[in-house]
Amino acid sequence: HSIAILGAPFSKGQKRRGVEHGPKAIRDAGLVERLSNLDYTVHDFGDLSFPHLEKDEHFMHVPFPRSVGRANKLLSNAVSSAVGAGHTCVMLGGDHSLAIGSVEGHSQQCPDLGLIWVDAHADINTPLTSPSGNLHGQSVAFLLKELQDKMPDIPGFSWMKPFLSCTDLVYIGLRDVDPGEHYILKNLGIQYFSMRDIDRMGMQRVMEVTLDHLLSRKQRPIHLSFDIDAFDPSLAPATGTPVNGGLTYREGIYITEEIHNTEATAGLAVDVIASSLGQSREGANMAFQEIPSPKEDTEQLRL
Ligand SMILES: N/C(=N\O)NCCC[NH3+]
Ligand SMILES: [Mn+2]
Ligand SMILES: [Mn+2]
Ligand SMILES: [Mn+2]
């Protein structure tokens, strides 16, 4: 089973710098070695290079629209060819606006994919509901067919069309949702498990319901978009958007183990998102060195 690593050192989906060091920090934390120790064949395709666009003025209050759109078009092509070559694609961010290209590229090969979005945030604002305008908080709105009449034509995004139905999406870990997002979640009947739902149901039950919701009618490829700020800030402190009361390490690992244990691993793609790390490289390293070494993971996998 082969894994393609794609680095996406990009941070213009939000205003803090530092997250472009995410791919290097994740590699420095030993990702390739750890995956190889789990007997995967790892193809590290290195980092995508994103052209700096001179002219990229705001669209409404949305910063860097053309840069974000361009980066995601490049990423979409790279993810599509990695998945098309039969690899499980692991995209290293970078901020969560990159999920637009990652999920869209995956859908080019697997149009019936199901999306699991693990995040403290819903990232489903439209430009009209977003308080900040930052595109990392609007990624899901670009993907959903049901929201396309609510999305203005943002410069830089003419290359893509929404492809996902809201029944193909499940959120896990929500605990900081904007009013406009809450309205959209309720209005579209999107399946989500907030931290309160996890408190009440436990992660085992949450994953049973999530995978039943996505896979009961038919097997299909899964796209996991995992924002590191889903973890409790005590575990992943170096994120620009910390929200207390997040996932434990075990809850995060359990999510990935349960997805691994479904047959849906054919055509699996994963986003490892560092929404915005601290200003320093130390912040980046701290964000990832919390995760225990492979032998502990392997023991857990074997138990
Ligand atoms: N880190 C963030 N998303 O994952 N920020 C955007 C959320 C603000 N509504
Ligand atoms: Mn996010
Ligand atoms: Mn988040
Ligand atoms: Mn984020």
In this prediction, residue 281 has a pLDDT band, given cuts at 50, 70 and 90, of very low
Average pLDDT over residues 84-107: 97
The one-character DSSP state at 95 is -
pLDDT greater than 50 at residue 295: no
Ligand 1, from 12, 16, 121: best to mutate by most atoms within 8 Å of Cβ?
121
Q: Which chain residues have CB less than 5 Å from ligand 2, an ion?
A: 96, 119, 121, 123, 227
Residue 299 alpha carbon to ligand 4 centre in Å: 30
Atom of ligand 1 nearest to the CA of 120: 4
Residue nearest to atom 6 of ligand 1 (CA): 137
Determine the pLDDT at residue 63.
Answer: 97
Determine the pLDDT at residue 221.
Answer: 96
Residue nearest to atom 5 of ligand 1 (CA): 137
Atom of ligand 1 nearest to the CA of 119: 4
Q: What angle do CA 6, 71, 277 make, to 5 degrees?
A: 70
Residues 133/45, Cβ–Cβ less than 8 Å: no
Residues 274/22, Cβ–Cβ less than 8 Å: yes
The complex scores an ipTM of 0.94
In this prediction, residue 245 has a pLDDT band, given cuts at 50, 70 and 90, of very high
Q: What angle do CA 100, 272, 220 make, to 5 degrees?
A: 65
**pTM across the whole model:** 0.92
Atom of ligand 1 nearest to the CA of 240: 1
Residues 178/169, Cβ–Cβ less than 8 Å: no
Residue 302 alpha carbon to ligand 2 centre in Å: 31
